[in-house]
A = this chain, B = another copy of it.
Amino acid sequence: MRDTETAEGLRTHGYKLTPQRLAVARVLLEASQHLTAAEVLGRGQEIYPQLGLTTVYRTLELLTELGFVRRVHLEKGCHAYAQAREREGHHLVCQVCHRVADFPCTGLGELIEETAKRTGFAVEFHLLELVGLCPACQ
């Protein structure tokens, strides 16, 4: 169970373990898609009905800081969150249905390393988005 990992993270950083925080964390954990704050609220309330939107925002910010959550950028409306499975974001975004799929990506590492070396940039993480049409929408 990965719940424990987030809980652990909160505890070791001195944050309190509240049902609200656990609910938000679990929602993202179980989501296969990126979620907006409002969506997180909806799903979170299925777990903990009293959950409020303010807390969702605060928790998302907190979890992002701790590295458990990552902000994701979409064409429209822009603001979505997803669990940070890895320090990488590889997304296939469909322009029609707006579905987002992850894909494994090899060979990108060297390319990034090389760029980092050439520019003097210390790269912490990267985001590769391929935008186009998914098989179903073509």
Interface residues of A (CB under 8 A from B): 71, 73-75, 78-79, 92, 94-95, 101, 103, 105-108, 111-112, 115-116, 118-135, 138
Contacts and interface: CB of A to CB of B under 8 A. Distances in A.
Given A79-B78, A111-B108, A127 B124 contact: no
8 contacts: A92-B119, A108-B108, A116-B132, A121-B133, A122-B133, A126-B129, A126-B130, A127-B131
Nearest to A90: B115
Given A73-B78, A111-B105, A111-B108, A131 B135 contact: no
A86 to B, nearest CB: 14
A107 to B, nearest CB: 6
Interface of A is mostly: mixed
A132 B95 CA distance: 28
B95 A119 contact: no
A116 to B, nearest CB: 7
Given A79-B78, A115-B103, A115-B105, A132 B128 contact: no
B115 A95 contact: no
